[in-house]
Amino acid sequence: MATQKIHALYNDDDILLRAVKQIREQHYHIEEIFCPFPVHGLEKAMGLADTRLAINAFLYGIVGLAVATVMMNYIMIEDWPQNIGGKPSFSYLENMPAFVPIMFELTVFFAAHLMVITFYLRSRLWPFKEAENPDVRTTDDHFLMEVDAHGEDIESITKFLYDTGAVELVLIDNEDH
């Protein structure tokens, strides 16, 4: 079944922001917005949910801390508790100050890298991925809003979008993907 959507192009981020607010008031559905740079407040205007990446990073950090602790407790205390320069290797706590730099670095390492990888996975980014760019100008100086026009009155929605300040409107007929 064919679906229809409209690509509305804007050339100013302030106009775009205002347009997003107006469109949401009319309860038209915005599929996606393509911008050449981050527009402050766009996610709030679109009503997107907050990211949970920071929570992920915190949990990854705890994993890193645990890895460092378990690793060094096993190597330095349990497996082969040597006397190295008189450092007490009887228990983890006694020798802990020496391990703190590693504990810290591994916490940061895990938190940072796993968070970045999570970001790539969630935003579906990888080398050789085919770019999903509907219009090449969106990486340079145009903002493109994809509005779901399926089941709407094309005439009136086009008129409405034009009034919000769109400089170009394209009606797209999608076949099933």
| Positions that interact with another protein (CB under 8 A) | 54, 58, 86, 97-98, 100
Nearer Cβ to another protein (31/105): 105
Q: Which is nearer to another protein, 62 or 172 (CB)?
A: 62
CB-based contact 58:169 (threshold 8 Å)? no
Which of residues 54 and 70 has its CB atom nearest to another protein in the complex?
54
Report in angstroms how near the CB of residue 102 gets to another protein at its nearest.
Answer: 12
**Distance in Å, CB of 28 to another protein, minimum:** 28
- What span, in angstroms and rounded, lies between the C-alpha atoms of 98 and 137? 55
Give the CA-trace dihedral at 7, 8, 9, 10, to 10 degrees. -150
Min CB(139)–another protein separation in Å? 29
In the complex with another protein, the residue whose CB is nearer, 30 or 108, is 108
Neighbours of 136 (CB within 10 A): 9
DSSP state of 131: P
Half-sphere exposure of 65 (CA within 13 A, CB side): 9
To the nearest 10°, report the CA torsion of 26, 32, 34, 40: 60
Shortest distance, position 156 Cβ to another protein, whole Å: 36
